[in-house]
Each structure stands twice: as C-alpha cells, then as structure tokens.
Amino acid sequence: MQSLRRVAGAALLALNLRRFSYGPLARGKYIWQVIDTEQKLAAFLPALRAAKWVAVDTEADSLHAYPEKVCLIQISTVSSDRLIDPLAGLNLGPLLEALSGRELILHGADYDLRLLRKHHEFVPSAIFDTMLAARLLGLRQFGLGHLVEKYLAVKLEKGAQKANWAMRPLTERMEHYAHNDTRHLKSLADQLRAELQAKGRLAWHQESCARLIQDSTQLHVPDLDSVWRIRGSHLLAPPALAVLRELWKWREKEAVAANKPPFFVMSHEALVNIAAEAALSRPIEPFLPKHLSERRRGGLLKAVAHARELGPDRHPKILRHASRRPSEGEKRRFIDLQKRRDAQATTLGIDPTLIASRGMLSDLAFDWDKHSPELMSWQHELLKLDGEQVPSRAQAAPTIGGSQGSGRRAPSQTQPATTSPLQMQIPSNTPFR
C-alpha cells in the first residue's frame, strides 16, 4: 500500500512540476496572436471583464502526455477570439477570476470542467452547455460541427482534434481549429436557448448544467486497492493479481518518467497475460513487446520477482460483488418506472436516459424514498404519476436466501472473497443494470 501511495505521489509531483514550469516548450513564434506573456494577458483582461458574454473551451494533451495538462484555453467574446497559453508560465489567477461569477458558454463541458478544476482549481458559477441543450431538445446528432452546420450553416474542419496541443509553436491548422471551438458558441447558444424556452425546457437545462458543474468538479480520491485492477484482471487468481499489481506500479513509474500515457509503455492485455504466466512460473518472453528496452525489461522482471516473493497473506483479494435477488414487487416497480420513463421520452422526443438511466430505475424500484432525491426536479416530475407517490419497498425487501422477508438484507458493498484458483468475477444477478 505504501508503494502505491509513492507511485501516486510521484505522479502528483510530476503534475505539479509541469503545472508551473515548462521551459522551452512555452516559447515560440505564433502564426496567430496568442496570449503567452503577462503583458498580453493584462492587456486582454479589461475587455474580458467588460464582456457581456464569454465562451470557453480547453485543449489538453491526454493522448500524448502523462499526466495530462491543460495546453490551451480558448475564449471568445463579442470583441475577439483569443487563445491563452497555460504552458507559458503565466499567472492565470487574474484570468480565472475574470471568468468567475458569470455564465460561461461551453460545448460538452464535462471534460473542460474536470480539467480546470483538477489543474487550476477553477469552478465556474454557471454554464450554458450547448451539447446538453441539443440533447434536451431531442437532437440525436449533437456534436459541435453538426450543430454549427445545422443552425448557422457553417462547416467546421475537425482535423486537428487529436493533435499534440503541447507542441509549440502551434500550426495554423491547430489555431484555426482552436478558435472554431468557441467563436460560434454564442450564436448557437442563442438559438438553442430560444428553442428550450419555447418548449418549456430552459429550467431543465439550467438545473442540468448546475448538476454538471457539481458532478464534474468533485475531486475523487483513487481507491488504491482497485486502481490497478485493469480490464481483464477479474480473470486472475490472487498470485497473478499480486504480479499484476506490481506490473501496474512499474508501468505508472515508466509512464510518468517518459511523460507518455501508460498504453505507450505497455498495453493492459500484455500486463494481464504476463501476470497470468508469471504466477504459474511459465515463460513471459512471448508476451513482452518487441520494442521493450533492456532497462525497462529489467524493471519489469524485478517487479515480477518481487510479486512472486510475497506470501499468500499479502496477495490481493478477489473482489466479489454481493448480489441480491429482486423481489417480485421490485420487478414490477422497475417495469412500471421504465414504461413511464419511455412514454415520457417518446412524447418529448428525447433520449430516455436523460430522464433516468437503467441503473437509476433499478435503484428507484428498490427504494424510491431513498433514491428519488438523487433525481433533478424535472426528472422527478416526469417519473411520478400525477397525484400518486411511487410505492417503496416496505412490503418486499430483497433477502439473501429463502423467500421474501425470511432472510437478512443483502449487503450492497463490494466484499473480498476467499482466495481461489483462476476464476471470473461474479456479476450481480439483478436484471436491471
């Protein structure tokens, strides 16, 4: 556990170092005017503070670096479209202060909000998300390019979407792409807002945007006993899980040191295969990537050797998800809620999952009183019948073993199982998820 914390600490240290120091990457001649000095930023701030509206977007380098960082902040106002370079070592405090306390227009705000909260501790007070607006209006194609073409008759080029945004100087194509991500948002938002108002859904959008800010800006502490349990790990027995855990820590260190995403170092599939073979004392060479350097090969073998030295008492436990059998009453409530949701969605012409996901319907069917407060007010109104309260589970609590009401309540948390040979993770038998 201590070594896992050291790996996490090393990643955080690298992130903080890159947040404030970028060296020669931060400089270069730009094709378009980019704010990359304190003087340029100071000159821009009065216009930003006086702006009647502001549209914002960000670009990161998650496909090219590890940990990721914010590489560009795009801002459009009525007077200009500007690019701000966070890699230039600027003090972004005055900029973020100018953006706070007002509504920001974004498209698909989830990722941008997470980036700005994680890297710059910025949380906006209000947003207008054009993607969310389009979905609440029932549009099935809600990408920015499609919406701008539909509403504004402008066709956007999206070729630079996967570019390395830490590269300096930016190419003309990258800068053109970056400007297009914000320069049309105000005109688009005006039309979407009017349609939401006409359909009586503007309040839905406002509540949904507030929930999006809340959900996207919460910092989640990683679970050190699950962060390394990558895809395919459920197939492994405890000795192999011990190897996988050490291999994951080795790969994290290599990824941070190389400033490359972990999949550049080694794939999930290779880690799982190596762990399975090593635990059985079989040769692992067939599963090693051909490009693996001697240094990395040595580190990997050391990690495997360390894992194999661990006693059974230090092996990770297999996680078994406690399951429960839904009562007949719960099944009926789920079907009723699903029919109600789907009927409302059909009438409104929107995606049913905007009203409630399948998982949420399952929770509501299990205990309406407990889980209905998790709904937004407009979702709650659409799901309940006029003048009728959705029944709770008071008469039919699911149990472990036996018939209805004859056993103890099934636990909902994940529990470690006793050790066993190679096996599949036991899924929940609840039919609603």
pLDDT per position as a tens digit, 130-161: 999 999 999 999 999 999 999 999 999 877 77
Percent of the chain's residues with pLDDT above 90: 74
Confidence class for position 24, pLDDT limits 50, 70, 90: very low
For 233-316, CATH gives 1.10.150.80
Class of domain 11-216: alpha beta
Confidence class for position 14, pLDDT limits 50, 70, 90: very low
Tell me what pLDDT residue 397 has: 37
Domain with CATH 1.10.150.80 in the chain: 233-316
Q: Three-class SS of residue 211?
A: helix
Question: Stretch 219-223: mean pLDDT, rounded?
Answer: 85
pLDDT tops 50 at residue 406 = no
Tell me what pLDDT residue 226 has: 92
pLDDT tops 50 at residue 235 = yes
Domain with CATH 3.30.420.10 in the chain: 11-216
Tell me what pLDDT residue 325 has: 86
Comparing 275-289, 312-326, 395-409, which segment has the lowest mean pLDDT?
A: 395-409
* Measured distance CA(265)–CA(10) in Å, rounded: 17
Question: Stretch 45-49: mean pLDDT, rounded?
Answer: 97
Write the pLDDT tens digit of every residue in 70-114.
999 999 999 999 999 999 999 999 999 999 999 999 999 999 999
Residue type, 370: K
Question: Stretch 16-29: mean pLDDT, rounded?
Answer: 38
Write the pLDDT tens digit of every residue in 166-202.
999 999 999 999 999 999 999 999 999 999 999 999 9
Write the pLDDT tens digit of every residue in 284-339.
999 999 889 999 999 999 999 999 999 999 999 998 877 778 899 999 999 999 99
pLDDT tops 50 at residue 43 = yes
Q: Which residue has the tokens 């809340």?
A: 214
Tell me what pLDDT residue 276 has: 97
The size of the chain, in residues, is 433
Tell me what pLDDT residue 160 has: 75
pLDDT tops 90 at residue 57 = yes
Tell me what pLDDT residue 260 has: 94
Confidence class for position 1, pLDDT limits 50, 70, 90: low
Cα angle value 82/85/86 (rounded, 5°): 130
Residue in 331, 388, 387 with CA at minimum distance from that of residue 362: 331
Higher pLDDT, 160 or 362: 362
Higher pLDDT, 16 or 159: 159
Tell me what pLDDT residue 115 has: 95
298: tokens are 């040595």
Residue in 2, 18, 7 with CA at minimum distance from that of residue 253: 7
Higher pLDDT, 40 or 162: 40
Tell me what pLDDT residue 189 has: 98
**Pairing assessment for the beta strands 126-129 and 103-106 based on DSSP bridges:** parallel
What's the chain's average pLDDT?
85
Question: Stretch 13-23: mean pLDDT, rounded?
Answer: 38
pLDDT tops 90 at residue 21 = no
pLDDT tops 80 at residue 411 = no
